[in-house]
C-alpha cells in the first residue's frame, strides 16, 4: 500500500464534509473575496473618472458579500430525498367510537 498514500478513499458513507474542511473552504472563499476587493480598490485608484467610481463601489460592497459567503455553512444532505408515504401506505388511526348523546349544561364536574 505504499503507492496509495495520496489516493482519495472511496466514498462508502453519506457522512457530511468534516467541519475542518468546511471551515478551510469558507476561509478560502473569504480570502478570494478580499483579494478581489483590494484589486477593485487599486483599480479605482488608477482608473479614469467614470470607471473608478464603479471600482470604488465594488470595493465598498464586496465585504458584505464576503462575510455572507464566509458564514455560509454547508447544509446539504446526502442527496436522498425523504420518502413520503402514499395514501395506501400511510398509517392512520382508525375512526373512534362515537357515543350519541346530549350535553347537559347544568351538570358540572
Is residue 92 in a domain?
no
Contact 14, 78 (CB under 8 A): yes
User: Over pLDDT 70: what percentage of the chain?
Assistant: 62
pLDDT per position as a tens digit, 51-87: 999 999 999 999 988 888 778 776 665 555 555 656 6
> What's the pLDDT band for 105 if we cut at 50, 70, 90?
confident
Is residue 60 in a domain?
yes
> What's the pLDDT band for 26 if we cut at 50, 70, 90?
confident
* Residue 56 pLDDT: 94
Is residue 41 in a domain?
yes
Is residue 88 in a domain?
no
- Set of cell numbers at residue 86: 402514499
How many separate domains does the chain show? 1
Rg (CA), the chain: 30
Is residue 56 in a domain?
yes
Is residue 1 in a domain?
no
For Cα atoms 23, 37, 48, give the angle at the middle one, nearest 5 degrees: 170
* Residue 97 pLDDT: 81
Is residue 58 in a domain?
yes
Question: pTM for the whole thing?
Answer: 0.53
Amino acid at each position: 500500500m505504499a503507492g496509495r498514500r495520496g489516493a482519495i478513499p472511496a466514498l462508502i458513507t453519506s457522512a457530511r464534509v468534516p467541519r475542518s474542511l468546511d471551515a478551510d473552504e469558507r476561509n478560502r472563499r473569504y480570502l478570494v473575496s478580499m483579494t478581489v476587493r483590494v484589486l477593485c480598490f487599486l483599480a479605482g485608484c488608477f482608473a479614469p473618472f467614470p470607471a473608478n467610481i464603479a471600482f470604488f463601489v465594488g470595493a465598498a460592497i464586496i465585504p458584505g458579500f464576503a462575510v455572507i459567503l464566509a458564514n455560509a455553512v454547508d447544509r446539504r444532505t446526502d442527496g436522498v430525498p425523504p420518502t413520503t408515504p402514499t395514501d395506501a401506505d400511510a398509517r392512520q388511526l382508525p375512526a373512534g367510537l362515537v357515543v350519541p348523546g346530549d350535553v347537559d349544561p347544568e351538570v358540572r364536574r
